[in-house]
């Protein structure tokens, strides 16, 4: 996003921003399967059931690869109609279509990386996924500007270069990651063995994964509706929203990462029958998440212009981004709680109510409230940001009360 905003301009950044909710929508089913893999690997590992662990790895990898091809084909075919559906301004639609087509076409490499990460975190190894991710980020930082501006024999590709840089980074990091894993981690030896299709295992994968998938679909649908509403205010607000979302993603990362750890630790403890450890894990996660979120909240509110100016120097875009951050940044604190509660529920395999809570917070509260505040009051775009904040508050209470009810304790998918 920084390279695109600096080297091409805010309209190209707006094109990427308009593409993001559609991309997120298309990969939702892969996210669900990755979460399910993490849960089942963790419970198998905690139960010390090596046969179940091997079956989870084989069948989940097969499912991830097959679905990646299907989603790529569907996404490329319907890319342009989807951009029209979200009211993408004509001035950025061509660039958005180019970028999105390439990114969706290479979705397999992103999916395989997520599968690697989910399996390794399930057994408590968060370092190897970090190494693979660092490689991907470094390659992305190198490839993207070179392909955007063109260096030596490389032609100037503009926004196409940005998409190709991302795909190449995922491709090489996935290849390096696989070669590293088969040499360093005996866990993946099972992939070399004869494949046994297990419908019982696949059923469990989808039992956990489908609610997560629909959860992400509901979230992405909400984002699509919100970006369609934002697009009505013009490309400068679209660009500002895109910058704000990227800052949000950075701000959410500590809480999200801790949530993934909570899922793995919850799954392992449930597999081992040690339910009494889970509340201790949750308490530590919330405190650690709050430390990071409060720090980032303070930085974003003290230095909003400096942070936003990393992406663009356009004054109108900067002003709109600052207005977004002043309101939305409170979400950073709320998500410290939400992600921690959700980490426990995902680790237990109890994902159905997470879907219900997302439907209530986003479809019942966020979308209607955003349209009302933005269209029927003088708040305009600020009404959209307020609606997002209030819906997050609703989600926080729903997740808290369900965790306290303790129904998640009944879910044990893999036993020793």
**pLDDT per position in the chain (416 positions), as tens?**
777 777 777 778 778 877 877 887 777 777 778 778 877 877 777 777 777 777 788 888 888 888 888 888 988 898 888 888 877 888 888 888 888 888 888 888 888 887 877 777 777 777 887 888 888 889 988 888 888 887 777 778 888 888 888 888 888 888 877 777 677 656 665 556 666 777 777 777 777 778 888 887 888 788 888 888 888 888 888 888 988 988 998 898 899 889 988 988 888 888 777 888 889 999 999 999 999 999 999 999 999 999 988 888 888 889 999 999 999 999 999 999 999 999 898 888 777 888 899 999 999 999 999 999 998 888 888 999 999 999 999 999 999 998 888 877 776 555 55
Q: Which long-range contacts (CB under 8 A, 24 or more apart) does 74-78 make?
A: 74/26, 75/22, 75/26, 75/100, 75/104, 75/105, 75/107, 76/101, 76/104, 76/105
- What share of residues in the chain are helix, strand, coil (percent, to 5)? 85, 0, 15
How far, in Å, are 135, 189, 208, 411 from residue 37 at the CA level?
23, 17, 9, 15
**Helical ranges in 272-366 per DSSP H:** 278-302, 304-308, 315-328, 331-348, 352-358
Return the structure tokens found at 284: 């530590």
Question: What is the pTM for the complete model shown?
Answer: 0.67
8 Å CB contact between 286 and 336:
yes
8 Å CB contact between 264 and 118:
no
Which residues, 6 or more positions from 401, have their beta carbon under 8 angstroms from its beta carbon? none
Sequential DSSP letters for 118-144 = HHHHHTT--HHHHHHHHHHHHHHHHHH
8 Å CB contact between 332 and 293:
yes
């Amino acid at each position: 996003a920084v390279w695109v905003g600096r080297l091409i301009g805010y309209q190209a950044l707006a094109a990427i921003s308009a593409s993001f909710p559609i991309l997120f929508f298309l990969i939702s089913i892969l996210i669900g399967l990755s979460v399910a893999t993490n849960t089942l690997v963790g419970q198998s590992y905690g139960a010390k059931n090596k046969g179940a662990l091997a079956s989870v790895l084989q069948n989940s990898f097969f499912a991830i690869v097959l679905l990646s091809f299907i989603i790529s084909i569907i996404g490329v075919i319907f890319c342009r109609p989807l951009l029209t559906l979200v009211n993408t301004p004509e001035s950025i639609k061509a660039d958005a279509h180019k970028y999105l087509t390439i990114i969706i076409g290479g979705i397999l490499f992103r999916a395989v990386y997520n599968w690697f990460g989910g399996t390794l975190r399930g057994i408590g190894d968060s370092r190897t996924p970090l190494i693979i991710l660092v490689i991907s980020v470094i390659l992305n930082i190198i490839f993207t500007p070179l392909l955007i501006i063109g260096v030596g024999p490389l032609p100037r590709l503009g926004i196409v270069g940005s998409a190709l840089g991302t795909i190449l980074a995922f491709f090489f990091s996935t290849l390096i990651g696989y070669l590293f894993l088969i040499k360093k981690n005996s866990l993946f030896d099972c992939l070399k063995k004869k494949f046994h299709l297990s419908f019982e295992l696949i059923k469990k994968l989808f039992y956990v994964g489908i609610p997560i998938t629909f959860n992400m679909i509901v979230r992405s649908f909400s984002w699509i509706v919100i970006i369609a509403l934002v697009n009505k205010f013009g490309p400068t607000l679209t660009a500002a929203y895109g910058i704000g979302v990227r800052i949000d993603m950075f701000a959410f990362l500590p809480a999200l990462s801790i949530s993934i750890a909570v899922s793995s630790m919850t799954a392992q403890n449930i597999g081992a029958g040690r339910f009494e450890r889970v509340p201790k894990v949750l308490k530590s996660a919330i405190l650690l998440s709050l430390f990071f979120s409060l720090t980032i909240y303070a930085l974003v509110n003290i230095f909003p212009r400096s942070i936003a100016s990393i992406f663009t120097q356009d004054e109108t875009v900067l002003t709109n981004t600052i207005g977004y951050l002043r309101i939305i940044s409170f979400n950073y604190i709320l998500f410290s709680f939400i992600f921690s509660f959700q980490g426990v529920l995902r680790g237990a395999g109890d994902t159905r109510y997470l879907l219900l809570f997302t439907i209530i917070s986003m479809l019942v509260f966020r979308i209607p409230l955003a349209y009302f505040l933005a269209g029927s009051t003088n708040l305009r775009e600020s009404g959209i940001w307020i609606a997002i904040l209030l819906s997050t508050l609703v989600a926080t209470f729903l997740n808290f009360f369900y965790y306290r009810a303790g129904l998640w304790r009944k879910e044990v998918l893999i036993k020793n």
